[in-house]
Structure formats: structure tokens, C-alpha cells
Amino acid sequence: MCGIIGYIGNDNGVDYVLGGLKNLEYRGYDSSGICIINNSSQTNLIKQVGGIDKLVQKIKITKPNGKLIIGHTRWATHGKPSTQNAHPHFNNDRSIFIVHNGIIENYLEIKSKLTSRGYKFISETDSEVIPNLVDFYYKKVNSLSRAFRMALSDLKGTYAICLVSTIEPDKIFVSRLGSPLVIGKTKDKIFVSSDPSAITNKTKTVSFLNDFDIAEVALKKIKIFNQKGNKVSSAKFETISHNDSQNNLGDWPNYMIKEINQIPEVVELAIKGRLGANHQIKLGGLDDVSTQLEHIDRIVIVGCGTSYYAGLIGEYLIEEFANIPVEVELSSEFKYKNEPISRSTCLIAISQSGETADTIAALNKVKDFGVLKLGIVNSIGSTISRMTDAGVYCHAGNERSVASTKAFIAQVTVLSLLALRLAKTRNKSVDDLMEDLLNLPDKIRKVLDQSEQIQKLVHKYIKYKNFLFIGRKYNYPIALEGALKLKEVSYVHAEGYSAGEMKHGPIALIDKSFPTIVIATKGDLYKKTISNLLEIKSRGGPIILITNFQDQKIKNMVDDIVYVPESGEETAVQIISVALQLFAYYFSLALGKNIDKPRNLAKSVTVE
């Protein structure tokens, strides 16, 4: 969601910070701003509603210089997008400036307390209480470091905060709780960011902060404290691997279509070294917990949005091949449920970013239960990857389009490998799945070859404002995911449903103006899905069939058919997902929408 970038160095850092903010655009935002403090402790605050380019144009007019800078991209939570609500925020004296990701739940109480003491507020945000609260304590203790810690102890909610001040113009004070922050360094520069991708073009030497860490970041020394003021440690740096070329569009018109076309290589990377000779499954990230895995008798999968739908597919895979009961829960619901969890339960957290607030909260809920916690994440070094006992990385590379495409396919591929890793027996169906996984990249390439056909299909249906997606078994979660993709990027209403539930409500919607996309793959439930298709046809509803089965009898019963390569039903979901992603992409393109940055959405949802 919101993005943070900070800089201390010997050079003018304005271009560094603006470049970092550009790298954070993919997360979703509605306004941006920077605060620059120069050597004479003078400040320059520049804020702008809209894209980063507008902020850049504003900065070009004044050409500011500074060696201590913080910047921010805001995704509105408290208050509409406006210059006043944009970050950085400041105290009444304009001596303390902050950028903040997260939500301060008790900001109204703090605001009321400070207002009664003469403080004035000019924004609608929760964030503005932070610099004024620090100011309040600074005037009591005359120490910015202590004042920052005292202010943090009053805050309830989630936060990643960077603070700079004219009082100590050579430091950035930072802290996090439930929202990511990373420090990066070179010989003569230090960066702070909410996302490593914002700074990896400058440095790949980074230190990830943990919850409740407070860091005083100076050019020559970085100190880490807890909220009581006790020194925890010096910052521990590591070198991360990051392919910065994925931040560039190259010859592609946008990131979504680029990332869809990367899917075959993503699947190859996900299985490379993991599905070996003689069909041996090697998931190195699970080696340290292999003994615990042997004693699992129940699995709970948590995730949000697309990751939740991947989890639903994982439920079918693990129950079918490993014979272990699986429940899939929305992270936002699971964290508030009271349910029995035993030590033989395994919790699997799925998140592309590894920073999803609700999924982190779900992990925190069980941290004292003694359960095995596994992560399936794409972002190396993310919070979830560090909170879990073990896990498997997706290796999908940096995904910049808000609508997840390649990362979703990678998640399902990893879940397939996990199901095989947990399988108690070796039988023909297990071998068939392994073979299908090896052949999956080439079959997805054949779907990509049909892009032009799918684009033509979109133009036929572009006038429709509502769509229904239906499927059974493995195809049910894909129906949910296909509907989500269409509504995310085109703003067209779409619903995903189990085909077997058609007669329990959704069939009431069917008429000639309500198309249905029917997902029916070769298998035991094919005929049952076709029966649902016929029920739609008899009521005049337009039908698009997506199938891997050449059924001559069905051709005259539907309006359009998209054929995909034949595969087992466990891997057909990934092949069909790519076709549905292309459908959503071309629909958005035809409507002229902002494909990579759909309105109101954020790539990494770091608040509840």
C-alpha cells in the first residue's frame, strides 16, 4: 500500500528518493511527497496529489538540495487524497517530520489529548498525531530519541515510521510494528524503505527490522533499540538477490501482460531443482522441519484474495495426494475465530508480498500454540518468511502489476509440490501429476499463443456489464479467481460460483444480458458441469466455454469456446488461469483502464 523511502548521504539525495518512490508506484497510491533537510537545518516540504510525475515536475521548479530526505506514497485510509492529507506530516513548529505506513487505531484519543494542550491539526489523517506527540514528549525530556520511544509506546495499531528533524539533522529515526521496514547501505549512503525493491538498484546490502525495533540511523552508525531504550544490537546486514531488470517494462506496454508472458519461465523456476530425477521431490526450505511434518494430522491454510484462492486449490491437492485434512481460511476471518488448534496442526500462510497484514495477524494468533508454521511467499526476506518456521519461496520474481498473475501460478505450483512432498504413498496418479508439472510450461506457452483469439473474443463481449464464472472441484477456485481478475482490472461486475450451486440462487440472474464463463475440464465431473451449462442455455444466457476436452456434441450448445491443451485436472487449473488472465487483461485494455494500477487497490495490503 503506502510506500516509504529515506536517505542520508554526502550527495544531494533528491533524485535517489524520487527514484525510490517511482519504484514503489506499483504498490498503489494516490498522493506523494518528500521532506528535505539541508545542512543549515532548513526544510523543504513538497507534496502533490496524483502520480509521482507531478511531484517530479513540482520539484524541478525549485531544484532543492538535501542530504537528509524522507519520501512517501500514500494510499488513502483516513481522509481523501489531498495535499493536506499527503505525507510527510509535521508538528506545529515544523521541526519534526514523519512518514507513516499503517493505521494508528487510537489517534482520536491522542488527537483530543494534544488538542487540549494547544496543538492544532490541519489534516484528516491518523498519521499527523505522530510528529505532534513526539514534539509533546520532546518538550518534556529534551531528547528526541527518548521522545520518539515515548510516543511509540502510546500508539496502538500498526506502523512503519520514519522521522527526521531539524533538531538532529543528521539522523533518521525509524520503527516498525506490523508494517515492513528495511535499511540499506553503501560506503557513503544509507537508505530506509518499506520495500527492498525501492533501493536494490542502489544497494543489495540490507537489514530487515523486526517488530518493536527502533533504529537511530546515522551515516556512520546505526543503533537498534527496543521501546524501553535498551540497545538490542547493531544492525545485521545481509546481501539479497534481486533482479532489477524486472522493474523495467522493456518493450512491453504494461507490467500485467509482461508478467503473464513470464509465467512459463516462472513455473520452470518453481520446479527447478525441486522436481528431480526419478520424480524425487526436494523442497530444501522444509528440511529443518521434516520430522514435524511426519506428525501432522491437520493443515490450516490462510491467505487473502488471490492467495486465498490458491489455498483452495492447495486444499484439493493436499487432501487428494497426502490424505491430510485441510481447511482454508481467509486471514481476516481466521485471526478472530476461536477454534481448537493442536500441536499436530500445521498453519500454512500464503502471501505474494509476505507483508499482508491480516496474514501476519493470523500467524501472530498461533505463535504461542506450538504449531508448525510454514510460509509460501514470493518476496525474500519479507516479514512472513521470517515469522514462519520454514517455507518455500515461489521464485516468481518481482511482480509489479497490482493484479497478481505469475505469482498466483507460482503459488499453485508450489502447493502442488508440497502435496507431493507430503504424499504418504507413491501411485500412478502421483506420477501423472509430476509428469504434468514438467510439461506445464510448454502447455502454458500454447495458451499464450492464443492471445489474439482471446482478444477478439473480448471485443465480442465488451458491451456486457456482468459476468458469472462457474466450475467444479479444482475449477471452482479458478472460477473465483477468474472473476476476481476481471473485476480488479476492468471494474466490470463478475462473480465466481461453484457450478453445483447454480440452482441455489445465481441462476435467477441469467438472461440474454448476463454471460457465463463455464470452466469444464476432462474428468469425472465434466458431464455434471455440462448439465449446469445446459441450464444456462435454456434460459438464454450467453456462454463462453473454456475446456481441454474436444467434445463435438457441445459445440452447438455454446456461443464461444476457448480450447486449452489437455492436462490432468490438477494442472489444468494453471493453464486455464492464464486464459482467464488474458481475458481480463484484454477487457481492461479495451475499456481503457489503468491496467497495472486499478483504482482503490494496492499491491501489498499492509493494514487491516
Catalytic positions, please?
Answer: 2, 603
Sheet with strand 466-471: strands edge to edge: 493-498, 466-471, 516-520, 543-547, 560-563
Q: Which residues pair with 343 in a beta bridge?
A: none
Q: How far, in Å, are 82, 323, 394, 607 from residue 78 at the CA level?
A: 11, 46, 34, 12
Angle at 244 between CA 241 and CA 247, to 5 degrees: 135
Distance (Å, rounded) from C-alpha 140 to C-alpha 110?
A: 17
Say which residues have a Cβ less than 8 Å from residue 241's Cβ, sequence separation at least 6: 204, 380
- With helix as H, strand as E and coil as C, how does 387-443 read? HCCEEEECCCCCCCCCCCCHHHHHHHHHHHHHHHHHCCCCCHHHHHHHHHHHHHHHH
Residue that has been written with the C-alpha cell 515461489 in this structure: 394
Q: Which residues pair with 273 in a beta bridge?
A: none
575 secondary structure, DSSP code: H
One-letter amino acid identity for 177?
L
Distance (Å, rounded) from C-alpha 446 to C-alpha 564?
A: 8
514 three-class SS? coil
Distance linking the first and last C-alpha atoms of the chain? 11
CB hemisphere CA count around 527 (13 angstroms):
1
Using an 8 Å Cβ cutoff, are 274 and 283 in contact?
A: yes
